[in-house]
Structure 1
Amino acid sequence: MATPARPRRRADAERSIARIVSAAREVLGRDPGASIDEIVTAAGVGRMTLYGHFPNRAALVEAALADAIREGEEALSAVELGGDARAAMTRLLAATWSLVAESARLLEAAEELLPAARIRELHGKSAARVEDLIHRGQRQGVFRTDLPTDWLVNVVHYILNGAAEESRAGRLRPGDAPAVVIATIESVLAPPR
């Protein structure tokens, strides 16, 4: 009895998609302006295969960013966030920094093609984690309450991405970046005297 071809084709398609997304993350992580040809070469597939799964560059970049965020979420979910909110924020920022540094160029590619609202939506779990931690710190009296929480969450995001840009530009040494990020965000979140 012959095995139906349909499940095999689906498995092949899933492997092909995974190769393309992985190659896009790698190639765009080095050069946000990399061409589709560079991505298909890295993936070991043809242009028709890529376009069979992703109708345009924006769809591919979104899939690559979503994959990077999903992988980052797996890592961040292991960070211990209990206890003192300041100490938990420090642990979260230390773990987040390496993820931001790794995906900064991919994010740059996404910002060129995707609406800002879509990028915020993809980062929703991460933003919610920071927001929950800020709320807890406010209840503990260790984080400021005089500014809107949404603003504080966005400032954390801006500082992380700004540090990645400064590091990439050579104005902030990569080894110094985590401490600089943590000190800056701690000062932003500290209650005014």
Structure 2
Amino acid sequence: MAATTKVTTRRADAQRNIDAILSAAAECLSRNPAASTSEIAKAAGVGRVTLYGHFPSRAELLDAVFVRSIATGEEALGQVDLTGDPRAALIRLIETSWELVDGFRTLLIAAQEVLPPARVRELHADPMARVERLLERGRTEGAFRTDLPTTWLVGVMHNVMHGAANELQAGRITSAEAAPYITATLLAAYTPPGERVPG
């Protein structure tokens, strides 16, 4: 009985350490995408040995932080109303998506530096599936172009969003400008050829 209690306590302590490390990493990386593991460990109130015991490399730590951030974002995206006119729904989805990207952009920059592009895209699978479903409905209803594959159009949104984050980081646009720029770009990209782009 005592041995079981000790194991349970160790597991609880380990989980608290993991939660503290992930929270500290998200906070540190939101301020500086180059934040070191030493800084993160200090902010989490643990030693580097403990941090590396849970996350053997910076890449694994960033992967875990990114996974948690994506899960948080999914909760917000799940609240977006995607019913009604597909174009209006797309605009609502862009606005919420940009808020999330803007909030996590330095974390995204840090992740892009250490994670393979395929892994970054894999972690975006659920948000991109939501975009794909909306685009498919819009294509069926004649709101969006059908001459290009849906997967291509989803990739366009993914790249435009990340491009806006990079432009903001470089100081070439403001956060307030980004969502309207993204919206204008994607509506132009998705409108069927020969039709007037909504604006």
TM-score (norm 2): 0.92
Q: Distance in 1 between matches of 2:174 and 2:161?
A: 14
The amino acid of 1:92's aligned partner reads L
| Partner residue in 1 for 2:59 | 58
| Partner residue in 2 for 1:129 | 130
The offset of 1:178, in angstroms, is: 1.3
Q: Distance in 2 between matches of 1:127 and 1:55?
A: 29
Q: Distance in 2 between matches of 1:65 and 1:14?
A: 18
Flag structure 1 segments of 5+ consecutive residues without an equivalent.
Answer: none
The offset of 1:43, in angstroms, is: 1.0
| Partner residue in 1 for 2:197 | none
| Partner residue in 1 for 2:89 | 88
The offset of 1:189, in angstroms, is: 0.8
The amino acid of 1:91's aligned partner reads R
Q: Distance in 2 between matches of 1:54 and 1:14?
A: 13
| Partner residue in 1 for 2:22 | 21
The amino acid of 1:74's aligned partner reads E
Q: Secondary structure at the match of 1:182?
A: helix
| Partner residue in 2 for 1:69 | 70
Task: Provide the aligned C-alpha RMSD in A.
Answer: 1.3
Q: Any idea what the Cα deviations from partners look like across 1:16-46, whole Å, max 9, x if unmatched?
A: 1011011111112222221111111111111
**More displaced, 132-141 or 25-34?**
25-34
- Please list, as runs of the form range in 1=range in 2, the aligned pairs for 1:20-169 lying within 5 A after superposition: 20-169=21-170
**More displaced, 15-24 or 176-185?**
176-185
Paired residues in the alignment total 193
Q: Distance in 2 between matches of 1:176 and 1:109?
A: 23
Amino-acid identity (%): 53
Q: Any idea what the Cα deviations from partners look like across 1:35-79, whole Å, max 9, x if unmatched?
A: 111111111111011011111111101001101101000111111
TM-score (norm 1): 0.95
